[in-house]
Amino acid sequence: MTHIRKATTDDAGLLAGLAAVTFPMACPPSSSPEDIATHLVNTLSERHFREYLADPDVTILVIDADGALRGYSFLVNRPAEDPDVASALKVLPSIELSKCYVHPERHGLGAAAELMHASLQVAAEAGAAGVWLGVNSQNARAIRFYEKSGFRKVGSKSFRLGTTVEHDFVMERSVG
Ligand SMILES: CC(C)(COP(=O)(O)OP(=O)(O)OC[C@H]1O[C@@H](n2cnc3c(N)ncnc32)[C@H](O)[C@@H]1OP(=O)(O)O)[C@@H](O)C(=O)NCCC(=O)NCCS
């Protein structure tokens, strides 16, 4: 049976495995495999997920398909530090949807919409008026998905991946 639930520290290893499959899909074709591998080791390893899951400001939701993880979202309930983001946001207080990744087996099947719905609900329950996210400006599929999910572009920011600086759109929507 497939259901969406909050992740626990027991999920850290499976989350790292899922991140290794899905993070490269969010990168532009110009990203080097070395930079992607370094980013995985430096921020998306099992050890990192254990730390994230212990952080009271972080909520990770997972799509659990009989124990296999087929998607995850990552919400951060902290004021945006990036000045480009802080100046772009209109709906405050806002929670960051820092990651929204679905396993390719489940793309185009509505799983991402269900994960988004649950993520917006978590944000509303935490008292947020808005949700914001950054998405690579070349990730047309994700941008389309976020627009379908009610997000609008409100600005842009930079994201360093190894030796290159990537450009992200900042998108937001209201909740609740
Ligand atoms: C982003 C993601 C969660 C969306 O889930 P999904 O199941 O693919 O979403 P949907 O199929 O509901 O919506 C995608 C939309 O993009 C469209 N699309 C697909 N490929 C596209 C492309 N190359 N260019 C433009 N639009 C595209 C689809 O047709 C669909 O729009 P439609 O319903 O109007 O036809 C999922 O694709 C994913 O995990 N991707 C890899 C990781 C990633 O990029 N995450 C986001 C990081 S910010």
Residues 6+ apart with CB under 8 A from 125: none
The Å distance, Cα 85 to ligand 1 centre, comes to 23
Q: Is the CB of residue 21 below 6 angstroms from any atom belonging to ligand 1?
A: no
Question: Among residues 104, 111, 119, which one has the least CA distance to residue 2?
Answer: 111
d(CA 94, CA 80): 8
pLDDT of residue 163: 83
Q: Name the CATH architecture for the domain at 2-174.
A: 3-Layer(aba) Sandwich (3.40)
The Å distance, Cα 96 to ligand 1 centre, comes to 19
106: pLDDT strictly greater than 90: yes
d(CA 19, CA 12): 10
Name the residue ranges covered by the structural domains of the chain: 2-174
Q: What is the pLDDT of residues 26-40, one digit of tens each?
A: 998 889 999 999 999
Q: What is the pLDDT of residues 134-143, one digit of tens each?
A: 999 999 999 9
The Å distance, Cα 5 to ligand 1 centre, comes to 22
More confident residue, 165 or 56: 56
Q: What is the pTM of this model?
A: 0.96
More confident residue, 163 or 33: 33
Q: Which residue has the tokens 């679905």?
A: 102
